[in-house]
Structure 1
């Protein structure tokens, strides 16, 4: 097992494409112009971000939950509760009423009609259909089947006769068609039409080839070569120049945005430091050196004695209220005793519970009867 540390691999240097003089000439002016245009935008953006964060911490986050609850309550009051009330107090009773009316006016009469009219009529029609079917079956078995067999035998005999005549006629017509139509047509095709067609095809091919070659050279000279020259000597150089300009503008935007971020951070820190030294530090000094001692003095000389006095007054008031409640309770009890007399005391009832027996030892005597062993 190899425990030796492996030497770190050297990262090959990043290959940089050679830059032309056009890129170097375009880069510096473009970066200067873009930096001048981007710095105000970046500072405004950073200011908006800081203001948004402050607004979110101080306003939106504290008010978000109550505002959300209020909006939810308003949404329920405007959209949910009306539909719930409409469904519960209008649609459901109306549906129940319509179901009852439909049951009374449609279902019950339909069931009665099916049960007392259609079912007996259907049974009668089924019995009649079974009788008619039995009659047709007897006619088919006793009359139509023998007649069909006889007709089939006659047709088969006639068919055999006509088939023999048709085969002879077909062979004669086939022989006549072969020697009167097919053989002359094949000879005409092989020795007349095929050579003429090949000559016409060769002539058309030569003419079409010449026309196509002429059209090819005309198109090449009038369209392809000018388009190729335009692409090679105009569009490609212009495209390369535009690509260099676009790349430099993009790099300049990225570089200017980063530089503007550093500048905005420095300006923000300067303004924060200035605000702290102009406003925060004096307020902190006043709070520490003036307001805090004054507050301690007010707390020790005014608030604490006032709190002690308030607590003493509260205790005295609570004791007075407790004494008044006890006096009122005693007065009510005396008045009730004067009107109705002393309340009856509950009589003592003998409790009928089993008396537990004394514990016994192995020899049948109680523990108290067992004498302690004597020594010596």
Structure 2
């Protein structure tokens, strides 16, 4: 609750309340409390009624946008990216790597052979000697022209000094300087008089503008625009606070509606589907697997084993027939002598009985 009554400030120590009250009364920072309280509740009610549908529509659009992004746009974007790589990137890379780069290297080598090498030869064996010769010639000619120029400069400088500089200095010192001082004094006097006139006119205009424009504008600002501005500021702040509060409340309402719809869909669609899958489709699937699929699989395995045994018997019969034909045509093959294995045979394991017999020394007859 906002305190609507103004509480007088406490008097400082050493001064009475009357002496303290003689000064300018203190202003509260929340002087517009009554106006804020009068505006806040109706504004929040109206804004809440207007914002709740907007927030719910916004949440629905957000959910639909996320679903569209995850289900449609992202797979389509990946497909388009792969298609773009196949149709544009890979052909361009192949064109760059296997056509443009070798062509550019060939053109560069041809330009080096046809342009750079002749240009270097021309610069080294033609332009450089000609440049050295021209530099030597112009150096000698420049030295001669410099000597002639220094003489001409000295003569022209002497003539200019006595024909132009000395008369100009005399004219400046004895004619222009006194005339300039006189004109400057006259200008200062004229400027002083003009300054006095301008000052008087400015003083009159200042008080005229102050009385006719500034004081009325100040009164309008202080007694009309400032209160209206404070009122509009309070209204705007309350509307902004109401919008924020209504947006948060609408978010809670939208979340509650979404949870309710989710619960309804769960108990009307998801749970019956889960029960049907668990109680109907799973037993039926197990029964089909046990009564149909498993016997068919066992019969298939048995047929496969019989077929493999028949193939093995046929291969053995064919092998024996080939051996009989070979014996009838070429006779019995000589048996190979068994190879003598040179690896040492492992010693038999030792037991207690063998150990006792082996440790007793043999007797000689």
- Change beyond 3 A, Cα 1:347–1:262: same
- Change beyond 3 A, Cα 1:326–1:209: farther
Shift of 1:345: 9.1
- Equivalent position of 1:77 in the other structure: 86
- Equivalent position of 1:228 in the other structure: 218
Cα distance per residue 1:152-195 (max 9 Å; x no partner): 9xxx9xxxxx9xxx9xxx9xx98x998x7699x49x96xx8787
1:42 has 2:51 as partner: no
Instruction: Identify which of 244, 250, 253 aligns with 1:260.
Output: 250
Q: Relative CO higher for 1 or 2, CA cutoff 8 Å, sep ≥ 6?
A: 1
Instruction: Identify which of 87, 91, 99 aligns with 2:100.
Output: 91
8 Å contact kept, 2:44–2:243: yes
- Change beyond 3 A, Cα 1:230–1:290: same
Cα distance per residue 1:82-132 (max 9 Å; x no partner): 323433454345435545654665466x389759xx849977x799899x9
- Equivalent position of 1:316 in the other structure: 306
1:294 has 2:284 as partner: yes
- Change beyond 3 A, Cα 1:269–1:53: same
| CA distance in structure 1 between the partners assigned to 2:58 and 2:131 by the alignment | 91
| CA distance in structure 2 between the partners assigned to 1:342 and 1:248 by the alignment | 116
**Alignment map for 1:114-129 (pairs within 5 Å):** 114=122, 119=125
| CA distance in structure 2 between the partners assigned to 1:21 and 1:40 by the alignment | 31
- Change beyond 3 A, Cα 1:129–1:303: closer
- Change beyond 3 A, Cα 1:205–1:342: farther
**Alignment map for 1:1-376 (pairs within 5 Å):** 17=30, 19-54=32-67, 59=71, 64=75, 70-99=79-108, 101-102=110-111, 105-106=114-115, 110=118, 114=122, 119=125, 185=178, 200-327=190-317
| CA distance in structure 1 between the partners assigned to 2:238 and 2:287 by the alignment | 69
**Root-mean-square deviation (Å):** 5.2
Where structure 1 has 5 or more consecutive residues not aligned to the other structure, the ranges are 1-14, 157-161, 354-370
| CA distance in structure 2 between the partners assigned to 1:274 and 1:249 by the alignment | 36
Shift of 1:212: 0.8
| CA distance in structure 2 between the partners assigned to 1:112 and 1:264 by the alignment | 81
Shift of 1:252: 1.0
Count of residues in correspondence between the two structures? 300
| CA distance in structure 1 between the partners assigned to 2:69 and 2:185 by the alignment | 95
- Change beyond 3 A, Cα 1:44–1:318: farther
| CA distance in structure 1 between the partners assigned to 2:119 and 2:328 by the alignment | 81
Shift of 1:338: 7.7
Shift of 1:33: 1.6
| CA distance in structure 1 between the partners assigned to 2:323 and 2:195 by the alignment | 138
- Change beyond 3 A, Cα 1:213–1:295: same
| CA distance in structure 2 between the partners assigned to 1:328 and 1:335 by the alignment | 11
| CA distance in structure 2 between the partners assigned to 1:121 and 1:202 by the alignment | 74
Does 83-92 or 268-277 show the bigger shift?
A: 83-92
State the SS of the aligned residue for 1:203: helix
